[in-house]
Structure formats: structure tokens, C-alpha cells
Amino acid sequence: MALIANIIGILGVVVLLAAYFLLQIGKIKGGDYAYSVANLFGSLMILYSVFYAWNIAAFIIETAWALISMYGIWARYRIGCQRRP
């Protein structure tokens, strides 16, 4: 089971790094749903792996990353709802 957790955690890192790279090269914007969703899923995947190899620092940063990403998704949704007639 630890092997699967490690694979999921590594995939989460790939997702986070890919989102950041796409942001840096201008393929996505920081306010896009895609960026926030990628950050959310990447951080949740890393959090999953942390429970198999406990690390308090990783838990704190990834929990914060997930919460901030959820806020970004919610804020973007709220702005979209306000623009509708």
C-alpha cells in the first residue's frame, strides 16, 4: 500500500509542477478554474501519500495549498454567478 501512496504522491507533484509551468509560460492564468483545480487535486494527492509516511511540515503546506485552492475555485464561481443576468 505504501508503494501506491508514493505513486499517488508523485503524480500529485507532477500535477502541481505542470500547473505552475503552464502558468509561467502563459498557457493558463492564475484565476482560471484549471489552475485552481490542478492545485487542489495535486495537493490532495500529496496529502494522501503523507498519511502513509507522516511528515507534519508536508501535511501543513499541502492542507493550506488545498484550502487556498478551494477558496480560489469558490471565488471564481461566485464571480461567474454575479456576471450572469
Q: For residue 69, what are the contacts with CB-CB under 8 A and spacing of at least 6? A: 36, 37, 39, 40, 43
Mean pLDDT over the full length of the chain: 94
pTM over 0.85? The answer is yes
- CA–CA–CA angle 7, 12, 18 (5° rounding): 125
- pLDDT, tens digit, for every residue of 6-22? 999 999 999 999 999 99
- pLDDT, tens digit, for every residue of 24-42? 999 999 989 999 999 999 9
Is pLDDT at 80 greater than 90 in this prediction? no
| pLDDT for the residue 1 | 86
| pLDDT for the residue 82 | 79
